[in-house]
Structure 1
Amino acid sequence: MACLISITLLSFLLIFSLSSAKAYHHLYSLPNQKPIPKSASASPEIIRQACKATRFPDSCVATLIQSSNLTQNAKPIEIVQAAMSISAQNLKTGQSMVKNIRDTSSGNLNRSKAATTCLEILHNSEYRLSSAADVLPRGRIKDARAWMSAALCYQYDCWSALKYVNDSQTVNQTMAFFDSLIGLTSNALSMMISYDLFQDKLESWRPPMTERSGFWEDGVAGGSVSGFIGGLPAGSPANVTVCKDEGSGCYKTVQAAVDAAPDNRLDRKFVISIKAGVYEEIVRVPLEKKNLVFIGDGMGKTVITGSLSVGKSGVTTYNTPTVGVLGDGFMARDLTIQNTAGPDAAQAVALRLDSDLSIIENCELLGNQDTVYAHSLRQYYKGCHIEGNVDFIFGNSAAVFQDSVILIRPRQVEPEKGEKNAVTAHGRTDPAQSTGFVFQNCVINGTDKYMSLYYSNPKVHKNFLGRPWKEYSRTVFMHCNLEALISPPGWLPWDGDFALSTLYYGEFANSGAGANLTGRVNWSNQIPEKHVNAYSLQNFIQGDEWIPTSS
């Protein structure tokens, strides 16, 4: 479920349970915080005005008023930058605290693994924070917001991981620190939104609003990227080839080809042609491998397959993917990625994607529970075939799925007894995060095997469009064909009334028996027609700036 990497086995057993979920809370006070000085370098009134834009104005004022980066007449953008700097400084402290946990946990496997993965994702948070700080003064505020949203996501992931290995005072103190750090990062992101909307008009700054409070960001006209021709111009030559042929001189594994790609390639794509065949391997694309392209010989012909699942040798959901991608600008086309752990296994991811500006086109993504971990940043899926059952599209990314077929599979050993499945579980934790799932022109149905079970006793087989993994979960379906297996309520609670007043689940102009609105839950919405454009490629993921077109 979305930008939240609950890293340990216990955490993911809780996260994916159909009967339990907990919201997190923040302390919003840093350890050993200094008293507010009598004379501040920046006007306290200006700081208070800016901090109106946050969810936690008291902690915002308390930290910014001590900042040495602000002058008496600080400009609004400088206040945002100072808040980002405070977050970055405290992140470094948090990294040191987690490193200490890792280094002193050699006898505790769960804690050691949680801390190790924590350090990886905190490195990603540091990278995104730094990148956002770099582009904000250059006017690239949508990029800055996307990257700060991811930075916040990763910090929450670390907090969540520590929560489930909290067996010592050191871990407890580190959690308390991250609790506060998350608040600082949230404050910076919230102010960034107000700066985006109102620029220097501090009197108009306000806390982040969502659709539930009547706010849509739909300023760019147009509903799609016209002339889309795919992630890569036709005829682009391969830089390297992966094949099964003996003695052909090509790479024998996909990972070997990834390792051979140059680091931080920014000027053009590095194309890896993966010839027909079944590649049984776990593939990782690290952060420095940017602009990689996987091109196969077709769905079902080029197959990358793995079978890792939670519970096997301490493997966690974050580490189960057959293919896991961090490097920005990733593209994949004409291939299958699958996790064959089976319907009786626990969480088992086929694709985990943390690549900003990534395109998955004409690909088959197969699994059961948690097939697609659309974890963070901006993602575009076009013409894909996705199969799974429990929460099988989850994460905290801003992802658009277009023209795709999404099918539910049977998941129980004795499926005739009935089951509940949710297609999506989005995990936005903060209303300032520019994340959510958008489905346009997609088909939601079941596999032939599932539909035979469904029609044998439809009363015991319940399927839903989504359920709220986290408090500000956001998912919309527009112009989709929702088949009869979608239950009349449409959406499934996570645990009691958790998130039901803060999530946004929207539908617009869908068709099919499952699109009947008569029995819908009262906490879902019909998207007002005048605001449908908020979920276009241009508005939601700035697709007009990076998705190739024919013109």
Structure 2
Amino acid sequence: MPLPAAARAKKAAAIFSVLVLLLLLGVLSSEKKALFAVAATSNGNNANYFNAAAAMAAEHEAAVERHCAGTLHRDVCRSTLSSIPDLAQKPLRSVISDVVSRAAAAVRASSSNCSSYLARPRALRVRDRLALADCLELFGHTLAQLGAAAAGLSSESVADVQTVLSAALTNQYTCLDGFSGPSASEDGRVRPFVQGRIYHAAHLQQRRLLLAGKEEDAIVLEGYGRVRRGFPAWVNAADRRRLQQQQQQGGVAANAVVAKDGSGDFRTVGDAVAAAPNNSATRYVIYIKAGGYFENVEVGSEKTNIMFVGDGMWKTVIKASRNVVDNSTTFRSATLAVVGMGFLARDLTVENAAGPSKHQAVALRVNADLSAFYRCSFVGYQDTLTVFMQTKMESLIHPKGWLEWNGTFALDTLYYAEYMNRGPGADTSARVNWPGYHVLTNASDANNFTVLNFVQGDLWLNSSSFPYTLGLS
């Protein structure tokens, strides 16, 4: 039986109010429960429907804006958080957990993209095949790191979670670095194919990193960030002694000895690492005698709790020269790559001798948690991400401020920024106009790069005796 006109109009108005609410919340396709929730509270008054919908939508939008304040990619942040139901009522840790699950899904999609391209090797350049293999390994690390961060929300300090998230975020951009040739024209077809999903995954991880920094009720574990006798508190007494002892009679007791002249157990560092036990719960010490060891060394994820002990900086030298110009990727160019957690090293030098003309040439790459280096030097060639804040700049600074590395190469993927600098060289009006160059205009953006927020310097810098400023002045 057809409804009377007044009833039809009333029903249409009610449905319209609910649809407005659902559209504003961004959950039209998935959250039917919102429809029933509104219907259940209906008293037949169209104005009440609309007021309730508007109030819920405004509360949701305010929560989105609050969580997205300070992020570098606000559009991605808003689109992600807008689709989370009941955002305004959720505790921050629940929001972070939701975002990380979406980030993990995006990483898995990126991994699938790379795998599908690798299945067509004839269509790939050598560099692209190497870069895709790097990406698959990095995505594996990222998923493990995101899982660790999710688990850490209930038991670890936020600073620990931020450290893990920072590593996961770095992996995404390291993947893209592998597709970049000495000139932008050499980037080929593969980078654009994988780039979109990677940027999405990276932005989600960055969003969660910033959310973690806002967590107010975080549990800081006893001992986190504390320093004992000049070392982090997680370095136990036995390892502190190993790091500080002299490598002479009565020094560190070694499980294996590396010597070029054959007087030890192995002639190469790589052979000693390969012979070390897998997944060791106890410290395994490799003493590397003075000399130059020309090799690329990788301490794999299964090689845990390894320690390298040399005879001193510039006496024990691990040296190689892989580089981007000669068809390595940045990721694979590392002379020493450490993935196994709990790695320690002291009294040695790690060098990539390729030189600046070979572009990226990494000395040390560390993907391992709980790693420490003492009395070591590292010599390599790699570009950096740079932010100048509240710095005095003299007239020697060119008005453009920044110089291209090689034509237009990497101008859209680098990150250079300036904030509230002073002096005759600080004027930004004539600065370069690159996609990757930013003039920061508000303190919330700049605060992301302070010693306090970027490296949690309040927890450990006191032990260094170096002068520092935690925040903005």
Identify whether the pair has TM-score above 0.5, normalized to the shorter chain: yes
1:301 aligns with 2:315: yes
**Higher mean C-alpha displacement, 184-193 vs 90-99:** 184-193
Which whole-Å CA distance do the structure 1 matches of 2:76 and 2:373 have between them?
41
**Greater Cα radius of gyration, structure 1 or 2:** 2
Which whole-Å CA distance do the structure 2 matches of 1:501 and 1:244 have between them?
44
* Partner amino acid, structure 1, of 2:266: Y
- Residues 158-201 of structure 1 deviation map (CA, whole Å, 9 limit, x = unaligned): 34545777644x76453222232223222222222222xx349x
Root-mean-square deviation over aligned CA pairs: 4.5
Structure 1 residue 316 displacement after superposition: 2.5
Q: Are the structure 2 counterparts of residues 488 and 258 from structure 1 closer, same or farther at C-alpha, using a change threshold of 3 Å?
A: farther
The residue number in structure 1 matching 2:402 is 493
Structure 1 residue 116 displacement after superposition: 1.2
Residue pair 1:308, 1:315 contacting (<8 A) in 2 also:
yes
Q: 1:53-68 residue pairs with structure 2 within 5 A? A: 53-54=67-68, 55=71, 56=73, 59-60=76-77, 62-64=79-81
1:114 aligns with 2:114: no
The residue number in structure 1 matching 2:267 is 252
Which whole-Å CA distance do the structure 1 matches of 2:415 and 2:320 have between them?
36
Which whole-Å CA distance do the structure 2 matches of 1:476 and 1:238 have between them?
48
Secondary structure in 2 matching 1:348: coil
Q: Are the structure 2 counterparts of residues 261 and 475 from structure 1 closer, same or farther at C-alpha, using a change threshold of 3 Å?
A: farther
**Higher mean C-alpha displacement, 295-304 vs 355-364:** 355-364
Residue pair 1:244, 1:277 contacting (<8 A) in 2 also:
yes
- Residues 370-426 of structure 1 deviation map (CA, whole Å, 9 limit, x = unaligned): x1xxxxxxxxxxxxxxxxxxxx4x5xxxxxxxxxxxxxxxxxxxxxxxxxxxxxx53
Q: Are the structure 2 counterparts of residues 35 and 545 from structure 1 closer, same or farther at C-alpha, using a change threshold of 3 Å?
A: farther
Structure 1 residue 157 displacement after superposition: 2.9
Which whole-Å CA distance do the structure 2 matches of 1:316 and 1:254 have between them?
22
Secondary structure in 2 matching 1:137: coil
Q: Are the structure 2 counterparts of residues 296 and 135 from structure 1 closer, same or farther at C-alpha, using a change threshold of 3 Å?
A: same
Structure 1 residue 142 displacement after superposition: 0.7
TM-score normalised to the size of structure 1? 0.55
The residue number in structure 1 matching 2:417 is 502
**Higher mean C-alpha displacement, 46-55 vs 105-114:** 46-55
Residue pair 1:101, 1:171 contacting (<8 A) in 2 also:
no
* Partner amino acid, structure 1, of 2:350: I
Q: Are the structure 2 counterparts of residues 63 and 309 from structure 1 closer, same or farther at C-alpha, using a change threshold of 3 Å?
A: closer
Secondary structure in 1 matching 2:417: coil
Residue pair 1:36, 1:66 contacting (<8 A) in 2 also:
no
Which whole-Å CA distance do the structure 1 matches of 2:415 and 2:76 have between them?
27
| Structure 1, gaps ≥5 residues long | 1-32, 201-222, 372-391, 395-424, 428-467, 478-485, 507-516, 526-530
Q: 1:374-389 residue pairs with structure 2 within 5 A? A: none
Relative contact order: is structure 1 or structure 2 higher (C-alpha 8 Å, sep ≥ 6)? 1
Q: Are the structure 2 counterparts of residues 277 and 124 from structure 1 closer, same or farther at C-alpha, using a change threshold of 3 Å?
A: same
- Alignment partner of 2:259 out of 243, 250, 257: 243
| Structure 2, gaps ≥5 residues long | 1-25, 38-55, 219-224, 232-239, 246-250, 429-438, 441-446, 465-473
- Alignment partner of 1:97 out of 113, 116, 123: 113
The residue number in structure 1 matching 2:204 is 184
Q: Which has the higher helix share?
A: 2
Q: 1:110-189 residue pairs with structure 2 within 5 A? A: 110-162=127-179, 167-168=188-189, 172-189=192-209
TM-score normalised to the size of structure 2? 0.63
- Alignment partner of 1:364 out of 353, 367, 377: 377
Residue pair 1:47, 1:61 contacting (<8 A) in 2 also:
no
Q: 1:428-447 residue pairs with structure 2 within 5 A? A: none
Structure 1 residue 85 displacement after superposition: 0.9
Q: Percent identity?
A: 27
Secondary structure in 2 matching 1:305: strand
Structure 1 residue 360 displacement after superposition: 2.4
Q: Are the structure 2 counterparts of residues 283 and 47 from structure 1 closer, same or farther at C-alpha, using a change threshold of 3 Å?
A: farther
The residue number in structure 2 matching 1:13 is none
Q: 1:320-331 residue pairs with structure 2 within 5 A? A: 320-331=333-344
